Amino acid sequence: MEKVRRISFRARATLKLSKPLEEEKRNELSNWIKLRAGELLSKGTRIKEEAAKVENFEVFDNKIILEISSGRSVRPHDALARLRKAIGEELGKKLGVGVREIQIEDYEIIFEGSNFRKINLPFTKEITSNENEVRVKLNLTEKEIYSQVPDRIVKLFLEKQQEVPTGKEIHEVRWSSQQKPHKYNVDPSLELVKRGWVKRFDQGIWYYMPPFAALMRTMEKIIVEEIAVPNGFVEAYFPKLITLEVMRKKGQLYGIPNEMFYVCEPISRDASYFEDYMDKVKVTNETLPTELLGKLKPPTYALPYAQCEPFYEIFSGEIVDVDQGPIKLFDRSGFSFRYESGGLTGLERLNAFNRIEITYLGTPEQVVEIRDKLVDSYQRVLDKTLDLEVRTVEVTPVWMAHAGVTSDVQRSVPATLDFEVYLPYRGERETSEWLEVGNASVHFDKYMQWYNVKEKKEREVWTGCSGNGLERWVVSLLANHGFNPEDWPKEFRKYLEKLPENIKLVTWP
């Protein structure tokens, strides 16, 4: 795409006055606009041609109609806000008038250039184009004017016009354990179902019966006692109903809204409001989900996608002091949820899965050191304690992908390192897909900016996180060592002396 040569704006708006004006006061207001508007709208503008200009205007008894044009400085929505404020401050007492409301009749952004791709944009009435320009007509209210929607439309347009990367994603092996012999070569998910250690509850959601639950708890204990605690992390409980505002700050509402589960509140807690719905369920013996939707508010929460979302919100609007040392917390209090749809596979890709989330905040040097020590711990545990064939891989930063960020990923240190385990049943190690069981990331200062976190002396603060899917840890163990506890690594068996008996049913093995 050719670089955009120029961006300009045109708008037609009505400023509704707080009360009707007599002819004398209308004339005085008209003269004020002629004399003061140009100076007011060019204030703070270096390039005169880029400033907003009032091209035409008319003053009526109860309103002002304006036509405004501008380049990239003092755009029409800013110009309208300036005029409204100035009229109230400078003429309020003199004329006894202020601006009650701004109505946008037309708002157009013109992008001059060539080779533009056809795209969709929000708040648009119409998008037209030719070989030299694209014209975007917006449908705006006063609310969008003051919340700077036109500026974000420009940014979004430019983002969508960027060339889509055609190269492969980052996937660079940085460390590998030795190749190891394998006692087992079957998909363990099939055997788990056959043995009754797991049972499908719904799509991507499973029961974990006593033997599998014991394995999960054992993996959790190993991660906590050999990775989290030795590296100075302490346990906290993070919320599992995440407000959409927190998801917006993290970027997930515009990065992966198609991969999240949403939660709606009832419109009322009064049972009588649901009486007709309850009666129909009783008489039809069906759930009637469509009728239930009418009883619910729009979504106000989402279920945690990565489990670390609430961590950054702790510090939102707060002031931290890096002299107090880094902040290191971990959470193991519940599930993470991802809408995988057709991507569900056995116990390796789920809609609901158990996760330990390790989170940290500190100076850039502290965060990098914390992440590097975590990497060393993961490599030792997966290689030695679990005796798995494992590798550490630098990958495209998953946390940036979740936020819809496709650029600015080249930093001084790797942004995300994954820990991948070889699964023999998938084929040869050189060509098969290895299973990612965890990762450790450095976010740089991105979340500090997005969550508006300040430091006491305005020093730079970074964050990082490390997530583990416990089901994948168990699958990795079973896929390599099988189901006979005698074949499991000695270091692992120190944490699990004996598997509990499973429940017995007539229809189960």
- Catalytic, out of 67, 106, 340, 376: 340
Give DSSP secondary structure letters for 71-125: SSSS-HHHHHHHHHHHHHHHHHHHHS--EEEEEEEEEEEEEE-S-PPP---TTEE
Let me know if 172 is a catalytic residue: no
Residue pair 302/259 in contact (Cβ under 8 Å)? The answer is no
Let me know if 340 is a catalytic residue: yes
- Catalytic, out of 354, 439, 468, 480: 439
Let me know if 484 is a catalytic residue: no
Distance (Å, whole) CA 22 – CA 168: 69
Let me know if 357 is a catalytic residue: yes
- Catalytic, out of 10, 36, 217, 349: 349
Q: Which of 88, 26, 28, 108 has its CA nearest to residue 63?
A: 26
- Catalytic, out of 372, 394, 436, 455: 436
- Catalytic, out of 313, 387, 389, 418: 418
3-state secondary structure 174-197: EEECCCCCCCCCCCHHHHHHHHCC
Distance (Å, whole) CA 3 – CA 72: 15
Phi, psi dihedrals of residue 324, rounded to the nearest 5°: -80, 0
- Here the tokens at position 202 are 């719904």
Residue pair 216/474 in contact (Cβ under 8 Å)? The answer is yes
- Catalytic, out of 313, 331, 348, 357: 357
3-state secondary structure 118-168: CCCCCCEEEEEECCCEEEEEECCCHHHHHCCHHHHHHHHHHHHHCCCCCCC
- Here the tokens at position 478 are 């079973």
Burial code (b: 16+ CB inside 10 Å, e: under 16) for 10-23 equals bbbbbbebeeebee
- Catalytic, out of 26, 75, 84, 472: 472
Distance (Å, whole) CA 387 – CA 176: 13
- Catalytic, out of 144, 308, 351, 468: 308
Let me know if 115 is a catalytic residue: no
- Catalytic, out of 108, 389, 465, 468: 465
- Here the tokens at position 183 are 């006692």
Let me know if 338 is a catalytic residue: yes
- Here the tokens at position 298 are 């729009």
Partner residues linked to 205 by β-bridges: 202
Let me know if 408 is a catalytic residue: no
Let me know if 411 is a catalytic residue: no
- Cite the active site residues: 308, 338, 340, 349, 357, 418, 436, 439, 465, 472
